[in-house]
Structure 1
Amino acid sequence: MSGTAAPERTATYRSADGLELFYRDFGDAAAKGTPVLCLPGLTRNSRDFVTLATRLSADRRVICPDLRGRGFSAYDPAYQNYAPGVYVKDALTLLAELGIDRFVAIGTSLGGVITMVLAGVKSVTLAGAVLNDVGPVLGPGIARIQSYTGKADPVATWDDAVEQAKFVYGPSLTGLSDADWAAFARRGYREDGGIIRLDYDPRIGDAIREAPPPAPDADPWPLFERLKDVPTVVLRGALSDILEQDVFEDMGRRISDARLVLVPDRGHVPLLDEPDVTPAIDQLLRDADAAG
């Protein structure tokens, strides 16, 4: 990456069903580099991408939305709308408003699922994809996530928020310093009226617990195979219980051009600043720029 990072801007837009949704906008809309859309995980928000987006904005525009029910986006009164199909519609609405029809998507967990769906949408061109610790088959860790989402109590201090974050994510994020954990907590929690709480609608937990399981005979692989003509990087945390090693390897067999990156000392999910991750993302963006 070259050039000088551009300042962050923030704005909102209206979803098709009228919710006010928030996004962060980095870089110059006229930059020659392929724009990037950063899509966060189930209970996370756009703050997870600020460091990455700031760096990438030296060469391109980077858009980081808060999905509905997260961060500064409105909560949905109909919690059943917390579903991938709705998130895809919201992303398409945002892209249309910004006049972006060709882009690279960087999707963490749920964001990676949204990315795979976007690959099959004819109104946009996915110029590249980064799937961060997710594939078409989810491992046993999904039950773990379902068990705690939306159930954590608010805390009184930021030290308590750090300890709560360590309890949930500690096994997946080994080797973080105290400063790293403090920054991680600030990205995932918000202080309201002296109460510090996770920065998402707790009813997201109800939505995922009530979602019907896939049909026993359903083939999950066509979703991933939408990316067969899209330059793709697949990241797997070496400790992950969501993207298991056999699925990770099968992804490489099914799309032989995909670049598979195993991230040491990470479970679900890598933070996208690891030494093996940065060059993989940068190379993907160079390839997308050259193809554009």
Structure 2
Amino acid sequence: MQPSQKSVRYLLADGFHDMAYTAWGEPDRTPVVCVHGLTRQGRDFDRLATALADDFYVICPDLPGRGLSDWLSGPALYQPLTYVTALGALLATLPPAVHWVGTSLGGICGMILAAQSKTPLTKLVLNDVGPFIPAAAIARIRDYMQPAPVLPDQAALETLLRVVHASFGVPDDAGWAEMAEYSGRSLPDGNVTLHYDPAIAEAFRAQEPADVDLRMFWEKIVIPTFTIRGALSDLLLEETLLEMEQAGSQSLTLPDVGHAPALMDGKTISAIRGFLAEN
């Protein structure tokens, strides 16, 4: 199955921008919006999207500054409000009943949107993120978000990803190759670097790591939720998952995986599909 490439336009203080997205399946089916983590892009969901596309219309955006989406005019614009604004413009083009799969930052955006009055979200899958994020995890992410390296070729890019994202639990060599295919951008001199705007890392590194409490949003969410946690995760703590389960969230913990699960293995894909298909 071949996806289609589309985009949606949204407005910020510095003008209009285009957010690219990959769409799988038939538009007349229930939409599933899949949103990636901080330094990733929408093609991370290719395997999940392929598995869901027989029953759903799967939409995988590149958040602003990532992948094929427009870069913004400065580091200060790379913040959750910007992402929610862009995603809100996307949601406005869809029917008013949308399922959501969000990895890390994508899950934070999902919680914010699900907490709003008249939200179009009907089901929420949170991949290794919850209503509390410890400062130590944010510090670790900040440490690896150094200035983007310049690499000689795609093979070197894949080698870097295998090190930086070893905790993702990518299940096979083909998965790493798929991740690397969309994770780089070519430079004028023929070298390769990472696909995102370096200003994203600049904005993230400018903030002193601190605990993030999102309970103000979590407590307003009334739609069904399903939380996936990597058993070795430092971002979604075991006690936070327990808090989410006590509030009614279904859950799945993946052994030998950290932050954030790649959502590429058959067991996890089957669990997500089962949750989204429930009446």
| TM-score normalised according to structure 2 size | 0.91
Q: Distance in 2 between matches of 1:28 and 1:178?
A: 30
CA deviation after TM superposition for structure 1 residue 279, in Å: 2.8
Partner of 1:142: 138
Alignment partner of 1:267 out of 235, 258, 279: 258
**Displacement after TM superposition at 1:167 (Å):** 2.1
Deviation at 1:124, TM superposition (A): 3.0
Q: Which letter does structure 1 place at the counterpart of 2:103?
A: T
Letter in 1 for 2:114: A
Query: Could you give the per-residue CA deviations for residues 7-30 of structure 1, whole angstroms, max 9, x where no partner exists?
Result: 311112211130122111111111
Shift of residue 75, structure 1, vs aligned partner = 0.5
1:67 offset after TM fit, Å?
0.6
Q: Give the match's secondary structure for 1:19.
A: strand
**1:114 aligned partner:** 109
8 Å Cα contact 1:26-1:54 kept in structure 2: yes
* Deviation for aligned residue 1:121: 2.4
Deviation larger for 74-83 or 266-275: 266-275
C-alpha RMSD of the superposition: 2.0
Letter in 2 for 1:200: Y
Which deviates more from structure 2 when the two are superposed, residues 75-84 or residues 105-114? 75-84
Residue 153 of structure 1, aligned match among 149, 155, 163: 149
User: Residues 145 and 219 of structure 1: is their aligned pair in 2 closer, same or farther, counting only changes over 3 Å?
Assistant: closer
1:16 match: secondary structure: strand
Residues 1:252 and 2:215 aligned together:
no
Maintained 8 Å contact 1:35/1:104: yes
CA 1:219/1:44 → structure 2, altered by over 3 Å: closer, same or farther? closer
* Correspondent of 2:176 among 172, 181, 192: 181
Q: Is the 8 A contact 1:108 1:269 kept in 2?
A: yes
Amino acid at match of 2:117: K
1:76-225 correspondence runs (5 A): 76-96=72-92, 98-139=93-134, 140-170=136-166, 172-174=167-169, 176-193=171-188, 194-211=190-207, 220-225=214-219
Q: 1:80: Cα distance to partner?
A: 0.9
Q: How many residue pairs get matched?
A: 274
Larger deviation, residues 22-31 vs 103-112: 22-31
Which of 210, 226, 230 lines up with 2:223 in the alignment? 230
Secondary structure of 1:128's counterpart equals: strand
**Secondary structure in structure 2 of the residue aligned to 1:240:** coil
1:174 positional shift: 4.8
Check the 8 A contact 1:27/1:57 in 2, yes or no: yes
Stretches of structure 1 that go unaligned for 5 or more consecutive residues are 1-5
Is 1:22 aligned to residue 20 of structure 2?
yes
Task: Tell me what 1:240 maps to.
Answer: 233
Matched with 1:3 is none
The 3 A distance-change label for structure 1 pair 53 and 264 is: same
